[in-house]
Structure 1
Amino acid sequence: MAYSSSSSSDRLNARDLERDGNSHDFLMNHSVQSFSWRDLTVSVKDRRTKQPRNLIEKISGSVQQGEFVALMGPSGCGKTTLLNVLARRAASSGATSSGNSYVNGGDIDNAAFGRVTSYVEQEDALIGSLTVRETLKFAADLSLPGSERAERINTLLEAFGIQNQASTLVGTPIRKGLSGGQKRRVSVASQLITCPKILFLDEPTSGLDSTASYEVISYVKKLARANKLIIIASIHQPSTVTFQLFDKLLLLSAGKTCYYGSVKDVPSYFGSIGYPIPTQTNPAEFILDIVSSDFVSDKTMMLEDVQKIQSAWAQSLESSRLAEQSAELTEKGSKRVVVDEASRPGLFSITTSLLHRLLIKSYRDVVAYGIRIVMYMGLAIMMGTVWLRLETEQEYIQPFINAIFFGSAFMSFMAVAYVPAFLEDRATFTKERANGLYGALPFLISNFIVGLPFLFLICLLFSIVSYWLSNFRPTASSFFTWVMWLFLDLLAAESLVVLVTSIFPNFVIALALVAFANGLWMSVGGFLVSPNILNPFWKYVFHYIDYQAYVFQGMMVNEFAGRVYSCASTPGSGAGSAAGSGNGSGCNCMYVTDLADQCQIRGTGVLESYGYATGRTGKWVGILLGIIVGYRVLGYIVLVLRRS
Structure 2
Amino acid sequence: MATCFQQQPSNVEDDSVILFSTSSSPEGSTSLSSSFYHSPLSTDNSKTSHKLTVRNLSYTIHLKRSIPDTFFHLGQMPKPVEILKSVSFVARSSEILAIVGPSGTGKSSLLRIISGRVNDKDFDPCSISINDHRMTSPVQLRKICGFVAQEDNLLPLLTVRETLMFSAKFRLKEMTSKEKEERVESLMQELGLSHVADSFVGDQENRGISGGERKRVSIGVDMIHDPPILLLDEPTSGLDSTSALQVIELLASMAKAKRRTVLLSIHQPSYRILRYISNFLVLSHGSVVHNGSLGLLEETIQKLGFQIPTQLNALEFAMEIMPALEASSFKFSVAEDGDSYSYPVWSDEECIRIQQHNDDKQMGNFWFSSLLEIMFLCSRFWKIIYRTKQLFLARTMQAVVGGFGLASVYVKVRKDEEGVAERLGLFAFSLSFLLSSTVEALPIYLQERRVLMKEASRGAYKISSYMIANTIVFMPFLFAVAILFAGPVYWIVGLNPSISAFTFFTFVVWLIILMASSLVLFLSAVSPDFISGNSLICTVLGAFFLFSGYFIPKDNIPKYWLFMYYVSLYRYPLDTLLTNEYWSVRGECFSWHPPDYSHCLLTGNDVLESRGLDKDTRWMNVGIMFGFFLFYRVLCWIILARKASRTTI
TM range (shorter): 0.7 to 0.9
Secondary structure of the 1:331 match is: coil
| TM superposition shift of 1:135 | 0.4
Among 469, 472, 483, the alignment partner of 2:492 is 469
| TM superposition shift of 1:510 | 2.3
Once the two structures are superposed, residues 252-285 of structure 1 have per-residue CA deviations (whole angstroms, 9 ceiling, x without a partner) of 1211112111234332232223333222323333
* Pair 619,289 (structure 1): closer, same or farther in 2 beyond 3 Å: same
Give the aligned partner of residue 265 of structure 1.
Answer: 296
After superposition, where does 1:212-611 map in structure 2 within 5 Å? 212-291=243-322, 306=323, 308-314=324-330, 319=332, 322-325=333-336, 328=339, 330-331=341-342, 335=346, 346-539=369-562, 541-563=563-585, 564=588, 566-567=590-591, 570-571=594-595, 586-587=596-597, 597=599, 601-611=602-612
Once the two structures are superposed, residues 623-643 of structure 1 have per-residue CA deviations (whole angstroms, 9 ceiling, x without a partner) of 222222222222222222232
Give the aligned partner of residue 110 of structure 2.
Answer: 82
Q: Does 1:40 align with 2:52?
A: no
Secondary structure of the 2:478 match is: helix
Q: Which runs of 5+ in 2 are unaligned?
A: 1-21, 70-76
| TM superposition shift of 1:172 | 4.2
Kept in 1: contact 2:56–2:88 (CA 8 A): yes
Give the aligned partner of residue 128 of structure 2.
Answer: 101
For 2:509 and 2:313, locate their aligned partners in 1 and report how far apart those are by CA, in whole Å.
64
Give the aligned partner of residue 164 of structure 1.
Answer: 195
- Paired AA for residue 490 in structure 1: I
Once the two structures are superposed, residues 129-167 of structure 1 have per-residue CA deviations (whole angstroms, 9 ceiling, x without a partner) of 111110010000001023231221011010011111111
* Pair 458,511 (structure 1): closer, same or farther in 2 beyond 3 Å: same
- Paired AA for residue 614 in structure 2: A
- Paired AA for residue 547 in structure 1: L
Secondary structure of the 1:207 match is: coil
Once the two structures are superposed, residues 91-130 of structure 1 have per-residue CA deviations (whole angstroms, 9 ceiling, x without a partner) of 89x9786861111111234333222111111111211111
For 1:329 and 1:369, locate their aligned partners in 2 and report how far apart those are by CA, in whole Å.
61
Equivalent pairs, count: 593
For 1:105 and 1:7, locate their aligned partners in 2 and report how far apart those are by CA, in whole Å.
33
| TM superposition shift of 1:354 | 1.4
Once the two structures are superposed, residues 563-616 of structure 1 have per-residue CA deviations (whole angstroms, 9 ceiling, x without a partner) of 446436633xxxxxxxxxxxxxx44xxxxxxxx73x584322211111113422
Secondary structure of the 1:76 match is: coil
* Pair 457,566 (structure 1): closer, same or farther in 2 beyond 3 Å: same
Secondary structure of the 2:438 match is: helix
- Paired AA for residue 446 in structure 1: A
Kept in 1: contact 2:583–2:616 (CA 8 A): no
| TM superposition shift of 1:35 | 0.6
Provide TM-score, normalisation by structure 2.
0.84
After superposition, where does 1:174-193 map in structure 2 within 5 Å? 174-193=205-224
Kept in 2: contact 1:56–1:254 (CA 8 A): yes
For 1:329 and 1:405, locate their aligned partners in 2 and report how far apart those are by CA, in whole Å.
75
- Paired AA for residue 104 in structure 1: N
- Paired AA for residue 454 in structure 2: K
For 2:572 and 2:39, locate their aligned partners in 1 and report how far apart those are by CA, in whole Å.
67
- Paired AA for residue 605 in structure 2: T
For 2:493 and 2:242, locate their aligned partners in 1 and report how far apart those are by CA, in whole Å.
62
- Paired AA for residue 53 in structure 2: S
Give the aligned partner of residue 11 of structure 2.
Answer: none
Q: Which runs of 5+ in 1 are unaligned?
A: 26-30, 292-305, 572-585, 588-595
Kept in 2: contact 1:5–1:159 (CA 8 A): no
RMSD over equivalenced CA pairs, Å: 3.0
* Pair 605,162 (structure 1): closer, same or farther in 2 beyond 3 Å: same
Q: Does 1:140 align with 2:168?
A: yes
- Paired AA for residue 146 in structure 1: M
Secondary structure of the 2:640 match is: helix
- Paired AA for residue 142 in structure 1: F
Provide TM-score, normalisation by structure 1.
0.85
Kept in 1: contact 2:335–2:341 (CA 8 A): no
Give the aligned partner of residue 11 of structure 1.
Answer: 33
Question: How high is the sequence identity, in percent, across the aligned residues?
Answer: 27
For 2:340 and 2:561, locate their aligned partners in 1 and report how far apart those are by CA, in whole Å.
66
* Pair 271,384 (structure 1): closer, same or farther in 2 beyond 3 Å: farther
| TM superposition shift of 1:327 | 8.6
Stretch of structure 1 that moved more, 378-387 or 612-621: 378-387
* Pair 115,325 (structure 1): closer, same or farther in 2 beyond 3 Å: same
* Pair 565,95 (structure 1): closer, same or farther in 2 beyond 3 Å: farther
| TM superposition shift of 1:542 | 2.0
* Pair 8,112 (structure 1): closer, same or farther in 2 beyond 3 Å: closer
Once the two structures are superposed, residues 216-251 of structure 1 have per-residue CA deviations (whole angstroms, 9 ceiling, x without a partner) of 111121111111111111112121112322111111
For 2:213 and 2:164, locate their aligned partners in 1 and report how far apart those are by CA, in whole Å.
13
For 2:375 and 2:340, locate their aligned partners in 1 and report how far apart those are by CA, in whole Å.
43
